[in-house]
Structure 1
Protein backbone atom coordinates (compact mmCIF):
# COMPACT_ATOMS: atom_id res chain seq x y z
CA UNK A 1 0.00 0.00 0.00
CA UNK A 2 1.09 3.54 -0.71
CA UNK A 3 -0.14 6.63 1.17
CA UNK A 4 -0.13 10.11 -0.38
CA UNK A 5 -1.06 13.08 1.80
CA UNK A 6 -3.36 15.39 -0.18
CA UNK A 7 -4.37 17.58 2.73
CA UNK A 8 -2.78 17.77 6.19
CA UNK A 9 -4.46 20.86 7.62
CA UNK A 10 -7.58 22.02 9.39
CA UNK A 11 -10.55 24.29 8.56
CA UNK A 12 -8.19 27.28 8.73
CA UNK A 13 -7.31 28.89 5.40
CA UNK A 14 -3.62 28.08 5.08
CA UNK A 15 -1.35 28.08 2.02
CA UNK A 16 0.93 25.41 3.48
CA UNK A 17 -1.78 22.83 4.15
CA UNK A 18 -5.01 21.88 2.42
CA UNK A 19 -7.78 20.47 4.59
CA UNK A 20 -8.10 16.74 5.22
CA UNK A 21 -7.54 14.25 2.40
CA UNK A 22 -5.47 11.06 2.20
CA UNK A 23 -4.95 8.78 -0.78
CA UNK A 24 -4.26 5.08 -0.28
CA UNK A 25 -3.33 2.95 -3.28
CA UNK A 26 -3.63 -0.81 -2.97
CA UNK A 27 -3.74 -3.24 -5.88
CA UNK A 28 -5.98 -1.87 -8.60
CA UNK A 29 -7.86 0.49 -6.28
CA UNK A 30 -7.21 4.10 -5.33
CA UNK A 31 -8.99 4.98 -2.10
CA UNK A 32 -9.51 8.53 -0.87
CA UNK A 33 -10.17 9.19 2.79
CA UNK A 34 -11.96 12.53 3.16
CA UNK A 35 -12.01 15.32 0.59
CA UNK A 36 -11.60 18.72 2.23
CA UNK A 37 -10.88 22.07 0.64
CA UNK A 38 -7.71 22.06 -1.46
CA UNK A 39 -7.56 18.27 -1.75
CA UNK A 40 -8.72 18.32 -5.37
CA UNK A 41 -5.87 20.60 -6.44
CA UNK A 42 -3.32 18.50 -4.58
CA UNK A 43 -4.70 15.39 -6.27
CA UNK A 44 -3.74 16.97 -9.59
CA UNK A 45 -0.38 18.13 -8.23
CA UNK A 46 0.34 14.55 -7.18
CA UNK A 47 0.03 13.43 -10.81
CA UNK A 48 -3.37 11.75 -10.50
CA UNK A 49 -6.65 12.51 -12.18
CA UNK A 50 -10.12 12.65 -10.60
CA UNK A 51 -11.10 9.56 -12.59
CA UNK A 52 -8.32 7.59 -10.85
CA UNK A 53 -10.26 7.51 -7.57
CA UNK A 54 -12.24 4.28 -7.16
CA UNK A 55 -13.49 4.64 -3.56
CA UNK A 56 -14.14 7.61 -1.27
CA UNK A 57 -14.63 7.10 2.48
CA UNK A 58 -15.74 9.97 4.71
CA UNK A 59 -14.69 9.75 8.35
CA UNK A 60 -17.32 12.38 9.20
CA UNK A 61 -19.10 15.26 7.54
CA UNK A 62 -17.39 18.38 8.86
CA UNK A 63 -16.82 20.76 5.95
CA UNK A 64 -13.02 20.53 6.13
CA UNK A 65 -13.36 16.82 5.37
CA UNK A 66 -15.75 17.13 2.42
CA UNK A 67 -15.62 20.61 0.85
CA UNK A 68 -14.10 19.31 -2.42
CA UNK A 69 -16.52 16.38 -2.74
CA UNK A 70 -18.74 17.93 -5.41
CA UNK A 71 -15.71 19.13 -7.37
CA UNK A 72 -14.20 15.64 -7.38
CA UNK A 73 -17.41 13.95 -8.51
CA UNK A 74 -18.11 16.54 -11.20
CA UNK A 75 -14.57 16.43 -12.60
CA UNK A 76 -14.45 12.61 -12.66
CA UNK A 77 -17.82 12.60 -14.44
CA UNK A 78 -16.48 15.09 -16.97
CA UNK A 79 -13.64 12.66 -17.68
CA UNK A 80 -16.15 9.89 -18.35
CA UNK A 81 -15.20 7.88 -15.28
CA UNK A 82 -17.42 5.12 -13.87
CA UNK A 83 -19.56 6.23 -10.92
CA UNK A 84 -17.46 6.84 -7.83
CA UNK A 85 -18.11 4.47 -4.90
CA UNK A 86 -18.82 6.74 -1.93
CA UNK A 87 -19.11 5.60 1.70
CA UNK A 88 -19.93 7.89 4.58
CA UNK A 89 -22.27 8.52 7.49
CA UNK A 90 -25.75 9.92 6.99
CA UNK A 91 -26.80 12.26 5.50
CA UNK A 92 -24.22 11.79 2.73
CA UNK A 93 -26.92 10.43 0.39
CA UNK A 94 -29.06 13.55 0.87
CA UNK A 95 -26.00 15.79 0.48
CA UNK A 96 -25.15 14.05 -2.79
CA UNK A 97 -28.68 14.57 -4.05
CA UNK A 98 -28.40 18.17 -2.95
CA UNK A 99 -25.50 18.57 -5.36
CA UNK A 100 -26.44 16.33 -8.27
CA UNK A 101 -30.17 15.61 -8.00
CA UNK A 102 -32.84 17.03 -10.35
CA UNK A 103 -33.24 20.10 -8.12
CA UNK A 104 -29.69 20.12 -6.78
CA UNK A 105 -27.47 23.18 -6.63
CA UNK A 106 -25.61 21.98 -9.76
CA UNK A 107 -28.75 21.11 -11.74
CA UNK A 108 -28.58 24.20 -13.96
CA UNK A 109 -24.95 23.48 -14.83
CA UNK A 110 -25.76 19.85 -15.58
CA UNK A 111 -28.74 20.71 -17.77
CA UNK A 112 -26.58 23.08 -19.78
CA UNK A 113 -23.83 20.52 -20.22
CA UNK A 114 -26.12 17.66 -21.18
CA UNK A 115 -29.00 19.36 -23.08
CA UNK A 116 -27.45 22.19 -25.10
CA UNK A 117 -26.26 21.15 -28.57
CA UNK A 118 -22.90 22.99 -28.38
CA UNK A 119 -22.09 21.22 -25.12
CA UNK A 120 -23.22 17.91 -26.57
CA UNK A 121 -20.89 18.43 -29.53
CA UNK A 122 -17.97 19.14 -27.20
CA UNK A 123 -18.77 15.94 -25.32
CA UNK A 124 -18.98 13.90 -28.54
CA UNK A 125 -15.69 15.35 -29.81
CA UNK A 126 -14.05 14.05 -26.63
CA UNK A 127 -15.32 10.54 -27.33
CA UNK A 128 -18.57 10.68 -25.38
CA UNK A 129 -21.94 9.36 -26.51
CA UNK A 130 -25.47 10.69 -26.13
CA UNK A 131 -27.64 10.88 -24.16
CA UNK A 132 -25.21 11.96 -21.48
CA UNK A 133 -26.32 10.93 -17.98
CA UNK A 134 -25.78 13.14 -14.96
CA UNK A 135 -23.20 12.30 -12.26
CA UNK A 136 -24.49 9.44 -10.15
CA UNK A 137 -22.06 8.41 -7.39
CA UNK A 138 -22.81 5.01 -5.84
CA UNK A 139 -23.48 6.16 -2.28
CA UNK A 140 -23.55 3.81 0.71
CA UNK A 141 -24.41 5.28 4.08
CA UNK A 142 -22.40 3.61 6.82
CA UNK A 143 -22.25 3.50 10.59
CA UNK A 144 -19.37 2.75 12.97
CA UNK A 145 -18.49 -0.94 12.82
CA UNK A 146 -18.95 -1.01 9.04
CA UNK A 147 -16.72 -3.45 7.15
CA UNK A 148 -15.98 -3.67 3.45
CA UNK A 149 -14.24 -6.30 1.34
CA UNK A 150 -12.39 -4.79 -1.59
CA UNK A 151 -10.29 -6.41 -4.30
CA UNK A 152 -7.48 -7.81 -2.19
CA UNK A 153 -8.11 -5.48 0.75
CA UNK A 154 -10.49 -5.19 3.68
CA UNK A 155 -11.69 -2.12 5.55
CA UNK A 156 -13.01 -1.96 9.09
CA UNK A 157 -14.16 0.96 11.20
CA UNK A 158 -15.03 2.11 14.68
CA UNK A 159 -16.69 5.10 16.32
CA UNK A 160 -14.42 7.83 17.66
CA UNK A 161 -15.47 10.74 19.90
CA UNK A 162 -15.44 14.06 18.08
CA UNK A 163 -18.70 15.81 17.16
CA UNK A 164 -21.42 13.54 18.46
CA UNK A 165 -24.41 13.56 18.60
CA UNK A 166 -24.67 15.84 15.56
CA UNK A 167 -22.18 13.88 13.44
CA UNK A 168 -21.24 10.22 13.29
CA UNK A 169 -17.43 10.09 13.41
CA UNK A 170 -15.29 7.10 12.47
CA UNK A 171 -11.75 5.79 12.17
CA UNK A 172 -10.79 3.31 9.45
CA UNK A 173 -8.32 0.44 9.13
CA UNK A 174 -7.32 -1.07 5.79
CA UNK A 175 -5.51 -4.39 5.59
CA UNK A 176 -3.90 -5.76 2.44
CA UNK A 177 -1.09 -8.18 1.67
CA UNK A 178 -0.27 -8.61 5.34
CA UNK A 179 0.01 -4.86 6.01
CA UNK A 180 -2.27 -2.63 8.06
CA UNK A 181 -2.99 1.11 7.72
CA UNK A 182 -5.14 3.06 10.19
CA UNK A 183 -6.59 6.55 9.73
CA UNK A 184 -8.02 8.02 12.91
CA UNK A 185 -10.26 10.66 11.38
CA UNK A 186 -10.76 13.40 13.97
CA UNK A 187 -10.64 11.38 17.14
CA UNK A 188 -10.48 11.69 20.87
CA UNK A 189 -8.84 8.81 22.72
CA UNK A 190 -11.00 5.72 23.13
CA UNK A 191 -10.61 1.97 23.59
CA UNK A 192 -12.21 1.22 20.23
CA UNK A 193 -9.59 3.25 18.35
CA UNK A 194 -6.75 1.72 20.33
CA UNK A 195 -8.04 -1.74 19.42
CA UNK A 196 -8.40 -0.75 15.76
CA UNK A 197 -4.77 0.45 15.78
CA UNK A 198 -3.40 -2.76 17.27
CA UNK A 199 -0.18 -3.76 15.48
CA UNK A 200 -0.83 -1.35 12.60
CA UNK A 201 2.16 -0.89 10.33
CA UNK A 202 1.25 2.79 9.92
CA UNK A 203 -1.08 4.98 11.97
CA UNK A 204 -2.13 8.38 10.62
CA UNK A 205 -3.63 10.34 13.53
CA UNK A 206 -5.04 13.84 13.72
CA UNK A 207 -3.50 16.37 16.14
CA UNK A 208 -5.40 19.55 16.95
CA UNK A 209 -3.59 20.65 20.12
CA UNK A 210 0.00 20.71 21.35
CA UNK A 211 1.38 19.58 24.69
CA UNK A 212 0.97 22.35 27.23
CA UNK A 213 -1.62 24.16 25.13
CA UNK A 214 -4.77 25.18 26.97
CA UNK A 215 -8.23 24.21 25.82
CA UNK A 216 -11.84 24.47 26.93
CA UNK A 217 -12.59 21.66 29.43
CA UNK A 218 -14.98 20.03 26.97
CA UNK A 219 -12.28 20.01 24.28
CA UNK A 220 -9.54 18.43 26.36
CA UNK A 221 -10.78 14.81 26.16
CA UNK A 222 -11.48 15.20 22.44
CA UNK A 223 -8.09 16.59 21.40
CA UNK A 224 -5.12 14.40 22.29
CA UNK A 225 -1.70 16.04 22.25
CA UNK A 226 1.36 14.62 20.45
CA UNK A 227 2.41 12.90 23.68
CA UNK A 228 -1.06 11.42 24.18
CA UNK A 229 -1.14 10.10 20.62
CA UNK A 230 2.35 8.66 20.88
CA UNK A 231 1.58 6.85 24.14
CA UNK A 232 -1.51 5.28 22.62
CA UNK A 233 0.42 4.25 19.51
CA UNK A 234 3.16 2.65 21.59
CA UNK A 235 0.61 0.79 23.69
CA UNK A 236 -1.11 -0.46 20.51
CA UNK A 237 2.26 -1.66 19.14
CA UNK A 238 2.03 0.53 16.05
CA UNK A 239 5.02 0.31 13.72
CA UNK A 240 5.08 3.89 12.43
CA UNK A 241 3.23 7.00 13.62
CA UNK A 242 2.34 10.02 11.50
CA UNK A 243 0.34 13.00 12.75
CA UNK A 244 -1.67 15.42 10.67
CA UNK A 245 -4.39 18.12 10.81
CA UNK A 246 -1.87 20.73 11.97
CA UNK A 247 -3.11 24.27 12.54
CA UNK A 248 -1.28 27.47 11.61
CA UNK A 249 0.07 28.29 15.06
CA UNK A 250 1.32 24.72 15.50
CA UNK A 251 3.67 25.09 12.55
CA UNK A 252 5.83 27.75 14.19
CA UNK A 253 9.34 26.23 14.06
CA UNK A 254 9.79 25.92 17.83
CA UNK A 255 6.34 24.40 18.35
CA UNK A 256 6.67 22.07 15.37
CA UNK A 257 10.00 20.79 16.66
CA UNK A 258 8.68 20.39 20.19
CA UNK A 259 5.78 18.28 18.90
CA UNK A 260 8.19 15.92 17.16
CA UNK A 261 10.33 15.61 20.27
CA UNK A 262 7.26 14.96 22.43
CA UNK A 263 6.22 12.11 20.16
CA UNK A 264 9.70 10.63 19.99
CA UNK A 265 10.05 10.67 23.76
CA UNK A 266 6.94 8.49 24.07
CA UNK A 267 7.03 6.45 20.86
CA UNK A 268 10.53 6.34 19.43
CA UNK A 269 12.17 7.64 16.30
CA UNK A 270 9.75 6.35 13.66
CA UNK A 271 7.24 9.19 13.86
CA UNK A 272 6.71 12.46 12.00
CA UNK A 273 4.38 15.35 11.20
CA UNK A 274 3.17 14.99 7.62
CA UNK A 275 3.12 17.67 4.94
CA UNK A 276 0.94 17.97 1.85
CA UNK A 277 2.10 15.71 -1.00
CA UNK A 278 4.27 13.53 1.25
CA UNK A 279 4.24 9.85 0.25
CA UNK A 280 4.77 6.79 2.43
CA UNK A 281 4.93 3.05 1.86
CA UNK A 282 2.79 1.15 4.34
Structure 2
Protein backbone atom coordinates (compact mmCIF):
# COMPACT_ATOMS: atom_id res chain seq x y z
CA UNK A 1 0.00 0.00 0.00
CA UNK A 2 1.18 3.52 -0.74
CA UNK A 3 -0.13 6.81 0.62
CA UNK A 4 0.56 10.08 -1.20
CA UNK A 5 -0.58 13.43 0.17
CA UNK A 6 -1.24 15.64 -2.85
CA UNK A 7 -2.59 18.63 -0.93
CA UNK A 8 -1.97 19.51 2.71
CA UNK A 9 -3.39 23.02 2.95
CA UNK A 10 -6.70 24.58 3.85
CA UNK A 11 -9.42 26.80 2.41
CA UNK A 12 -7.03 29.78 2.52
CA UNK A 13 -4.45 30.08 -0.26
CA UNK A 14 -0.86 29.07 0.42
CA UNK A 15 2.15 29.41 -1.89
CA UNK A 16 3.29 25.88 -0.97
CA UNK A 17 0.18 23.90 -0.04
CA UNK A 18 -2.82 23.03 -2.19
CA UNK A 19 -6.18 22.16 -0.73
CA UNK A 20 -6.89 18.68 0.61
CA UNK A 21 -6.32 15.48 -1.33
CA UNK A 22 -4.68 12.11 -0.58
CA UNK A 23 -4.13 9.05 -2.74
CA UNK A 24 -4.31 5.53 -1.32
CA UNK A 25 -2.96 2.83 -3.65
CA UNK A 26 -3.69 -0.74 -2.65
CA UNK A 27 -2.88 -3.50 -5.09
CA UNK A 28 -4.69 -2.55 -8.27
CA UNK A 29 -7.02 -0.10 -6.53
CA UNK A 30 -6.46 3.66 -6.39
CA UNK A 31 -8.61 5.87 -4.18
CA UNK A 32 -8.51 9.64 -3.85
CA UNK A 33 -9.61 10.88 -0.44
CA UNK A 34 -10.96 14.42 -0.88
CA UNK A 35 -10.44 16.52 -3.98
CA UNK A 36 -9.78 20.16 -3.14
CA UNK A 37 -8.79 22.88 -5.56
CA UNK A 38 -5.67 22.09 -7.60
CA UNK A 39 -5.55 18.37 -6.89
CA UNK A 40 -6.02 17.38 -10.55
CA UNK A 41 -2.98 19.40 -11.56
CA UNK A 42 -1.01 18.04 -8.60
CA UNK A 43 -1.75 14.55 -9.89
CA UNK A 44 -0.16 15.56 -13.18
CA UNK A 45 2.97 16.55 -11.24
CA UNK A 46 3.10 13.19 -9.47
CA UNK A 47 3.83 9.66 -10.61
CA UNK A 48 0.11 8.86 -10.35
CA UNK A 49 -1.87 8.77 -13.60
CA UNK A 50 -5.01 10.87 -13.10
CA UNK A 51 -6.78 8.67 -15.66
CA UNK A 52 -6.54 5.80 -13.17
CA UNK A 53 -8.33 7.76 -10.42
CA UNK A 54 -11.99 6.92 -10.89
CA UNK A 55 -13.11 6.77 -7.24
CA UNK A 56 -13.14 9.62 -4.72
CA UNK A 57 -14.04 9.32 -1.04
CA UNK A 58 -15.10 12.52 0.67
CA UNK A 59 -14.43 13.06 4.36
CA UNK A 60 -17.01 15.87 4.24
CA UNK A 61 -18.44 18.31 1.71
CA UNK A 62 -16.78 21.66 2.40
CA UNK A 63 -15.57 23.35 -0.78
CA UNK A 64 -11.86 22.93 -0.07
CA UNK A 65 -12.43 19.16 -0.06
CA UNK A 66 -14.63 18.89 -3.17
CA UNK A 67 -13.83 21.81 -5.50
CA UNK A 68 -11.76 19.82 -8.03
CA UNK A 69 -14.23 16.96 -8.47
CA UNK A 70 -15.59 18.26 -11.80
CA UNK A 71 -12.09 19.22 -12.97
CA UNK A 72 -10.80 15.69 -12.42
CA UNK A 73 -13.90 14.06 -13.87
CA UNK A 74 -13.82 16.23 -17.00
CA UNK A 75 -10.11 15.64 -17.55
CA UNK A 76 -10.75 11.90 -17.45
CA UNK A 77 -13.77 12.29 -19.73
CA UNK A 78 -11.73 14.15 -22.34
CA UNK A 79 -9.30 11.24 -22.29
CA UNK A 80 -12.11 8.77 -22.91
CA UNK A 81 -12.83 7.65 -19.35
CA UNK A 82 -16.52 8.20 -18.58
CA UNK A 83 -16.88 6.25 -15.31
CA UNK A 84 -16.53 8.27 -12.12
CA UNK A 85 -17.58 7.38 -8.57
CA UNK A 86 -17.97 9.64 -5.54
CA UNK A 87 -18.58 8.20 -2.06
CA UNK A 88 -19.20 10.35 0.99
CA UNK A 89 -21.32 11.34 3.98
CA UNK A 90 -24.73 12.95 4.11
CA UNK A 91 -24.92 15.85 1.67
CA UNK A 92 -22.69 14.27 -0.96
CA UNK A 93 -25.51 13.86 -3.50
CA UNK A 94 -26.58 17.52 -3.29
CA UNK A 95 -22.99 18.73 -3.67
CA UNK A 96 -22.38 16.47 -6.66
CA UNK A 97 -25.62 17.60 -8.31
CA UNK A 98 -24.38 21.19 -8.12
CA UNK A 99 -20.76 20.59 -9.11
CA UNK A 100 -21.40 18.24 -12.02
CA UNK A 101 -24.07 20.50 -13.50
CA UNK A 102 -21.15 22.55 -14.83
CA UNK A 103 -20.50 21.67 -18.50
CA UNK A 104 -23.43 19.23 -18.29
CA UNK A 105 -21.11 16.65 -16.74
CA UNK A 106 -24.00 14.91 -15.02
CA UNK A 107 -25.31 13.87 -18.44
CA UNK A 108 -21.94 13.23 -20.08
CA UNK A 109 -20.39 11.08 -17.36
CA UNK A 110 -21.16 7.57 -16.22
CA UNK A 111 -21.47 9.04 -12.74
CA UNK A 112 -22.11 7.04 -9.59
CA UNK A 113 -22.74 8.95 -6.36
CA UNK A 114 -22.97 6.91 -3.16
CA UNK A 115 -24.07 8.61 0.02
CA UNK A 116 -23.08 6.51 3.01
CA UNK A 117 -25.83 5.63 5.51
CA UNK A 118 -25.68 7.27 8.91
CA UNK A 119 -23.68 5.45 11.53
CA UNK A 120 -20.21 3.94 11.46
CA UNK A 121 -20.67 0.51 9.94
CA UNK A 122 -17.80 -0.54 7.67
CA UNK A 123 -18.48 -0.45 3.95
CA UNK A 124 -16.88 -1.81 0.82
CA UNK A 125 -15.80 -0.39 -2.49
CA UNK A 126 -15.30 -3.30 -4.80
CA UNK A 127 -13.35 -5.83 -2.74
CA UNK A 128 -11.87 -3.26 -0.36
CA UNK A 129 -13.33 -3.00 3.15
CA UNK A 130 -13.13 0.45 4.75
CA UNK A 131 -13.82 1.28 8.40
CA UNK A 132 -15.05 4.71 9.46
CA UNK A 133 -15.57 6.94 12.47
CA UNK A 134 -17.56 10.13 12.88
CA UNK A 135 -15.63 13.38 12.91
CA UNK A 136 -16.54 16.52 14.86
CA UNK A 137 -16.82 19.39 12.40
CA UNK A 138 -19.44 21.83 11.11
CA UNK A 139 -20.46 19.35 8.39
CA UNK A 140 -21.23 15.64 8.76
CA UNK A 141 -18.09 13.68 8.05
CA UNK A 142 -15.96 10.60 8.55
CA UNK A 143 -12.43 9.45 9.11
CA UNK A 144 -11.56 6.37 7.04
CA UNK A 145 -9.30 3.40 7.76
CA UNK A 146 -7.93 1.30 4.91
CA UNK A 147 -7.01 -2.24 5.99
CA UNK A 148 -5.01 -2.08 9.20
CA UNK A 149 -2.52 0.39 7.77
CA UNK A 150 -3.75 3.87 6.89
CA UNK A 151 -6.25 6.08 8.72
CA UNK A 152 -7.21 9.44 7.21
CA UNK A 153 -9.20 11.92 9.28
CA UNK A 154 -10.99 14.83 7.68
CA UNK A 155 -11.51 18.18 9.38
CA UNK A 156 -12.27 17.57 13.04
CA UNK A 157 -11.59 18.46 16.61
CA UNK A 158 -9.61 15.70 18.35
CA UNK A 159 -12.07 12.92 19.20
CA UNK A 160 -11.98 9.53 20.89
CA UNK A 161 -13.77 7.78 17.99
CA UNK A 162 -11.16 8.93 15.46
CA UNK A 163 -8.31 7.98 17.80
CA UNK A 164 -9.86 4.56 18.40
CA UNK A 165 -10.22 4.05 14.66
CA UNK A 166 -6.55 4.91 14.19
CA UNK A 167 -5.26 2.73 17.03
CA UNK A 168 -2.92 0.12 15.56
CA UNK A 169 -2.52 1.91 12.21
CA UNK A 170 0.84 2.27 10.56
CA UNK A 171 -0.03 5.84 9.53
CA UNK A 172 -2.56 8.40 10.77
CA UNK A 173 -3.19 11.51 8.68
CA UNK A 174 -4.79 14.09 10.96
CA UNK A 175 -5.48 17.77 10.56
CA UNK A 176 -3.75 20.37 12.73
CA UNK A 177 -5.33 23.52 11.38
CA UNK A 178 -4.30 26.07 13.98
CA UNK A 179 -1.52 26.73 16.51
CA UNK A 180 -2.14 26.46 20.25
CA UNK A 181 -4.08 29.26 21.96
CA UNK A 182 -6.36 29.53 18.92
CA UNK A 183 -10.09 29.08 19.37
CA UNK A 184 -10.82 26.59 16.62
CA UNK A 185 -14.28 24.97 16.69
CA UNK A 186 -14.29 21.96 14.40
CA UNK A 187 -10.50 21.90 14.07
CA UNK A 188 -7.44 20.67 15.96
CA UNK A 189 -4.51 22.33 17.69
CA UNK A 190 -1.25 20.52 18.55
CA UNK A 191 -1.68 20.22 22.32
CA UNK A 192 -5.32 19.15 22.20
CA UNK A 193 -4.54 16.55 19.56
CA UNK A 194 -1.43 15.34 21.37
CA UNK A 195 -3.34 14.67 24.59
CA UNK A 196 -5.77 12.32 22.87
CA UNK A 197 -3.09 10.60 20.79
CA UNK A 198 -0.75 10.00 23.73
CA UNK A 199 -2.00 6.44 24.30
CA UNK A 200 -2.82 5.60 20.70
CA UNK A 201 -0.62 3.02 18.97
CA UNK A 202 0.29 4.60 15.63
CA UNK A 203 3.68 4.21 13.98
CA UNK A 204 3.58 7.54 12.12
CA UNK A 205 1.38 10.61 12.54
CA UNK A 206 1.28 13.03 9.62
CA UNK A 207 -0.18 16.46 10.34
CA UNK A 208 -1.99 18.16 7.49
CA UNK A 209 -4.60 20.82 6.66
CA UNK A 210 -2.42 23.61 8.05
CA UNK A 211 -3.80 27.11 7.76
CA UNK A 212 -1.25 29.76 6.72
CA UNK A 213 -0.92 31.06 10.30
CA UNK A 214 0.10 27.55 11.42
CA UNK A 215 2.82 27.05 8.80
CA UNK A 216 5.47 29.10 10.69
CA UNK A 217 5.13 26.56 13.54
CA UNK A 218 5.76 23.54 11.30
CA UNK A 219 9.40 23.09 12.37
CA UNK A 220 8.40 23.25 16.02
CA UNK A 221 5.67 20.66 15.49
CA UNK A 222 8.09 18.42 13.62
CA UNK A 223 10.11 17.93 16.81
CA UNK A 224 7.48 15.45 17.99
CA UNK A 225 5.48 14.40 14.90
CA UNK A 226 5.81 14.63 11.14
CA UNK A 227 4.32 17.63 9.38
CA UNK A 228 3.28 16.61 5.90
CA UNK A 229 3.94 18.69 2.82
CA UNK A 230 2.41 18.34 -0.62
CA UNK A 231 3.72 15.19 -2.35
CA UNK A 232 4.68 13.48 0.94
CA UNK A 233 4.56 9.74 0.16
CA UNK A 234 4.73 6.69 2.42
CA UNK A 235 5.06 3.11 1.17
CA UNK A 236 3.82 0.35 3.48
CA UNK A 237 4.39 -3.41 3.31
Q: What's the TM-score, normalizing by structure 1?
A: 0.77
Aligned pairs, number: 235
Kept in 2: contact 1:3–1:280 (CA 8 A): yes
* Corresponding residue number in structure 1 for 2:12: 12
Residues 1:25 and 2:25 aligned together: yes
Mapping of residues 34-49 of structure 1, within 5 Å: 34-49=34-49
Q: What's the TM-score, normalizing by structure 2?
A: 0.91
1:11-36 CA-partner distances (Å, limit 9, x unpaired)? 11112000000001001111100000
Query: Which of 122, 135, 146 lines up with 2:109 in the alignment?
Result: 135
Name the larger-Rg structure.
1
Higher strand share: 2
Kept in 2: contact 1:33–1:56 (CA 8 A): yes
Q: 1:99 to 1:152 in 2, by over 3 A?
A: closer
CA distance in 1 between counterparts of 2:60 and 2:46 reads 24
CA distance in 2 between counterparts of 1:144 and 1:204 reads 22
* Corresponding residue number in structure 1 for 2:161: 192
Query: Which of 208, 211, 214 lines up with 2:182 in the alignment?
Result: 214
Compute the displacement of 1:144 (Å): 4.2
* Corresponding residue number in structure 1 for 2:53: 53
* Corresponding residue number in structure 2 for 1:276: 230
Compute the displacement of 1:191 (Å): 2.0
* Corresponding residue number in structure 1 for 2:83: 83
Compute the displacement of 1:45 (Å): 0.4
Query: Which of 188, 196, 199 lines up with 1:224 in the alignment?
Result: 188
Higher helix share: 1
Residues 1:203 and 2:172 aligned together: yes
Kept in 2: contact 1:37–1:68 (CA 8 A): yes
Give the unaligned 5+ runs of structure 2: none
* Corresponding residue number in structure 1 for 2:199: 235
* Corresponding residue number in structure 1 for 2:94: 94
* Corresponding residue number in structure 2 for 1:246: 210
CA distance in 2 between counterparts of 1:98 and 1:250 reads 32
1:215-249 CA-partner distances (Å, limit 9, x unpaired)? 2xxx35x3332233233333121111110011212
SS at match of 2:149: strand
Give the unaligned 5+ runs of structure 1: 112-132, 265-270
Query: Which of 138, 159, 170 lines up with 2:142 in the alignment?
Result: 170
